[in-house]
Structure 1
Amino acid sequence: MTQKNYLTGCVLLLFLNAGCTREMYNPDSRPHEFPNYVDTETRPVQYQEKKTYVTAQGVSASNQFNGARLNDFEAENDSTFTVSIEPENTPINPSPWYAFKLWSETPRKVYLNIDYHNGKHRYLPKLSYDGRVWTDLDSNLIIKRGGNVQFPLNLSQDTLWVAGQELFTTEHLRGWLAEIKRKSPETKMDTYGKSTLGRPLYTASLFEKNKGQNEIIVLMSRQHPPETTGQLAFLHFVERLLEEDPLTEKFKQKYQVLLFPMQNPDGVDLGHWRHNAGGIDLNRDWDRYNQPETRQMAKYLVEFANKNQARVIMGLDFHSTYEDVYYTNNSDTASAYPDFTNVWLNEIKRAIPDYEPNISPSNVGQPVSKGWFFVRFNAVGITYEIGDDTPRDFIKTKSRIAAEKMMEVLLNDE
């Protein structure tokens, strides 16, 4: 059966043919439907050696924390030091993540070279003295040398954290989940399996209802480890849904939200550029399910929907790239909510002065999550991308408005 005929048949018979419904909700018993094949069989990865580097000049560096990426550290002279950054494997998307700690036995100004292997500089350095509060390095201080960079830093015995973005690791995630559970006790926490290296894969259910009374919206994030701005957008979006007001009260009477806040915990904690511990881009594995993270999420979502006699109507996947953009499916017009995407994005535009959404629609091609939501569930699928350098206050503002407008559009569509 061709992809077009299969999709058409399942869309028409979704509510009438129980067999077709089972086929759409079972990730393991259907033909491969994405036209652009991607090999997602496990590949070897290079693990960085976790250590503290001590130089004769009294300057030290460390990668002994979750989220770190530092492959080597050496002194060029008394004031210049080189950090080597390598990916987990190749070929790989150019997202050269770095994160390390620095300190000096005596106060001094140093010049730091970042030498990228198989990549070039992308992320503006962020600095912190506690790993929680971060500031941008003045971009005027950065000297570009081909794909590498050099910039000055003032060091002392106090530890200075240097990273491509703010850190948000599995430790931060556990703290955030505990906080939303405290604020919203009815939130149901769960795990949907373990990662390649055995880390828990967390999920949470908001506004869970009785069987047959709800439709499911899926929010997911962090398939790609360096994409912290997408993670921040996800957090703000969810936090708006959990506020108590007439809009959210009405919304949660009909809709249920299922969270998958960190799809790639191994990659995040290991400081990977892109891949999981199996050396694969998880957002190309939504067809073959070769990696445990995608396979277990698909299985959990299928079983959750069936158990609750509910249907998945939407999947929003939060990512980061060079600029804010919404990647959408041309096929959304044939989804369960055919007008949602255009109406929602227009409402966001109307709510933010002088804002013009950057929208990039495409046909179902590679096996990415937004296409998977449509192919598997006839649901709206959108990749919600935030720019690497998008101001953090705007990330919060836009994400809160996006959550509000999603609720309003869905409620108005009843």
Structure 2
Amino acid sequence: MKRKRVAGLFWSLVVLSLFGCRGFHALNHDFQNPVDTSSRAIERQQKKVYEIDGIFADNRFDGARLNNFSQLDSNRYQVDILPENEPINPSPWYAFKIWSEVPRDIQLIINYDSVQHRYRPWLSSDGLHWQQMDSLQYRLIDEEDLVMNLSVDKDTLWVSAQELQNSHSVEKWCREISNRPSVDFKIIGKSLLGRDLVRLQIGEGERHRKPTIVILSRQHPPEVTGYFAMQAFVEELLSDNPLSDDFRKRYQVLVYPLLNPDGVDMGHWRHNGGGIDLNRDWAYYRQPETRNVADDIVKTSRENKSQVILGLDFHSTWYDIFYTNSSEVRDLRRFKDYWIFGMRDILNEPIRERSSEPQSPVSKSWFYSQFGAVGITYEIGDNTPRDLINEKGKVSAQEMMKLLIFND
């Protein structure tokens, strides 16, 4: 009899363990518009220093994209910028260093092979401090390739599609703000190629049953302006003022600032190390980045017995816009309407919104399907002025906090 009771207890623990483990995994979702996110081969750039006639071009740093360097005539040179694989969204990221043994004025053509130019060049002398290139110093050829007039000498000139923000820069920012008492830093897993996936957890006091807001960023490597907006948004949540202080006591925030560290450090146009658009992988999580992040959100919310009520995914595109779900949620009804109205009122400018049903395996659909939460894709324009990005990030955080506190 005793042996039967022991056996029964053993199998009960096994069943509980199995269900408990399953409870910490994100559900699979059969969206109406599925996407195959099985890994595909990528074309890696050869990391090297190119040298032609005393002029050097270098891609040996994280975030670089430079596939070839050639000379066209006595003072014209060309860099080739190619994608990691195809088909792909036309977001031709480039980043490289260039210098010369003797001072020279040259023309440098950026050749994308088959897509149109998108990003205005940024220049730096150290890879840390950036300035957008004077528009009088570059022009387009047939709306496709870019021609730049450069003065090069023995000092290194960095050229990039946007300010360089690789995985080291992101982790440095995360560790700096995690020194604040209301922020915890954690590595929640690894990317396909073994880079850290980091998380910030924001909140004060007991986390049990606190409603949860989730923030995502950098699913797509070139989308630096969205990352800047996310930084401003998060830093406003951490401000020392009555609104932010009260918010941190009532809510918890999970921040995943860099979902695609492989793609970022490898200078990809769009995809991760598995050659996949991560923002199409929120149904079956075939890539480790989405699997790790989705499971961590589910695990953390269930351990704390808290409800995810809002998910914001920061991106970049041609102009500022919010992509929202047209389906209403049980909690936070009309949140997006009041939130956008509040931002429009304070910023005193039109705010674009485009709403659709949650039918595709993107993050905003996942927040709705997994949690019944509000899901919003927060897009910033490629060329939105940096001071306006900072202001929008700050104001959008303030308006969110007001709505959530007054709705509590």
Q: TM-score, normalised by structure 2?
A: 0.92
Q: Deviations over 1:67-109 (max 9, x none)?
A: 0000000111221100000000000000000000000111111
Alignment of 1:207 with 2:213, yes or no, is no
- Quick one: distance in 2 between partners of 1:392 and 1:291? 32
- Quick one: distance in 2 between partners of 1:212 and 1:136? 46
- Contact 1:87 1:117 (C-alpha < 8 Å) held by counterparts: no
Alignment of 1:86 with 2:94, yes or no, is no
| Match in the other structure for 1:390 | 384
| Match in the other structure for 2:178 | 181
| Match in the other structure for 2:250 | 254
Aligned-residue offset at 1:29: 4.9
SS in 2 for 1:326: strand
Alignment of 1:407 with 2:404, yes or no, is no
- Quick one: distance in 2 between partners of 1:211 and 1:177? 21
- Quick one: distance in 2 between partners of 1:219 and 1:334? 18
Alignment of 1:334 with 2:302, yes or no, is no
- Quick one: distance in 2 between partners of 1:29 and 1:244? 38
Aligned-residue offset at 1:44: 0.2
Q: Deviations over 1:314-340 (max 9, x none)?
A: 000000000000001101x22421121
Instruction: Give, as a single letter, the amino acid of the residue that structure 2 aligns with 1:192.
Output: I
| Match in the other structure for 2:145 | 148
- Quick one: distance in 2 between partners of 1:200 and 1:394? 31
* The one of 316, 321, 327 aligned to 2:312: 316
Summarize the alignment of residues 218-233 of structure 1 with structure 2, pairs less than 5 Å apart: 218-233=214-229
- Contact 1:23 1:29 (C-alpha < 8 Å) held by counterparts: no
Summarize the alignment of residues 124-135 of structure 1 with structure 2, pairs less than 5 Å apart: 124-135=120-131
- Contact 1:165 1:228 (C-alpha < 8 Å) held by counterparts: yes
- Quick one: distance in 2 between partners of 1:129 and 1:327? 37
Aligned-residue offset at 1:211: 5.0
- Quick one: distance in 2 between partners of 1:157 and 1:88? 31
Aligned-residue offset at 1:175: 1.2
Alignment of 1:196 with 2:192, yes or no, is yes
SS in 2 for 1:375: helix
Aligned-residue offset at 1:249: 1.4
Aligned-residue offset at 1:210: 2.7
| Match in the other structure for 2:341 | 346
Aligned-residue offset at 1:24: 11
- Contact 2:204 2:249 (C-alpha < 8 Å) held by counterparts: no
| Match in the other structure for 1:51 | 48
- Quick one: distance in 2 between partners of 1:24 and 1:382? 27
Aligned-residue offset at 1:277: 0.3
Summarize the alignment of residues 275-290 of structure 1 with structure 2, pairs less than 5 Å apart: 275-290=271-286
SS in 2 for 1:192: strand
- Quick one: distance in 1 between partners of 2:374 and 2:299? 19
Instruction: Give, as a single letter, the amino acid of the residue that structure 1 aligns with 2:359.
Output: G
* The one of 153, 156, 159 aligned to 1:159: 156
Summarize the alignment of residues 292-311 of structure 1 with structure 2, pairs less than 5 Å apart: 292-311=288-307
| Match in the other structure for 1:33 | 30
Structure 1: gaps of 5 or more residues: 1-21
Aligned-residue offset at 1:28: 5.3
- Contact 2:178 2:200 (C-alpha < 8 Å) held by counterparts: no
Q: Deviations over 1:291-336 (max 9, x none)?
A: 00001111111111110010100000000000000001101x2242
- Quick one: distance in 1 between partners of 2:78 and 2:99? 14
- Quick one: distance in 2 between partners of 1:23 and 1:344? 37
Alignment of 1:113 with 2:109, yes or no, is yes
- Quick one: distance in 1 between partners of 2:270 and 2:107? 28
Q: Deviations over 1:133-169 (max 9, x none)?
A: 1111122332222311212011111100000000001
SS in 2 for 1:334: coil
| Match in the other structure for 2:267 | 271
Change over 3 Å in CA distance of 1:325–1:75 after alignment to 2:
same
Aligned-residue offset at 1:181: 1.8
Instruction: Give, as a single letter, the amino acid of the residue that structure 2 aligns with 1:347.
Output: G
- Quick one: distance in 2 between partners of 1:187 and 1:29? 28
- Quick one: distance in 2 between partners of 1:37 and 1:23? 26
SS in 2 for 1:394: helix
Displaced runs of 4 or more, over 4 A:
22-30
- Quick one: distance in 2 between partners of 1:239 and 1:53? 40
SS in 2 for 1:232: helix
Instruction: Give, as a single letter, the amino acid of the residue that structure 2 aligns with 1:359.
Output: E
- Quick one: distance in 2 between partners of 1:384 and 1:25? 29
Instruction: Give, as a single letter, the amino acid of the residue that structure 1 aligns with 2:45.
Output: Q
* The one of 80, 94, 119 aligned to 1:98: 94
SS in 2 for 1:303: helix
Q: Deviations over 1:240-279 (max 9, x none)?
A: 1111111111111110000000000000000000000000
Larger radius of gyration: 2
- Quick one: distance in 1 between partners of 2:329 and 2:21? 18
Summarize the alignment of residues 2-13 of structure 1 with structure 2, pairs less than 5 Å apart: none
Q: Deviations over 1:331-353 (max 9, x none)?
A: 1x224211210001100111112
Summarize the alignment of residues 359-398 of structure 1 with structure 2, pairs less than 5 Å apart: 359-398=353-392
- Contact 2:37 2:286 (C-alpha < 8 Å) held by counterparts: yes
Instruction: Give, as a single letter, the amino acid of the residue that structure 1 aligns with 2:90.
Output: P
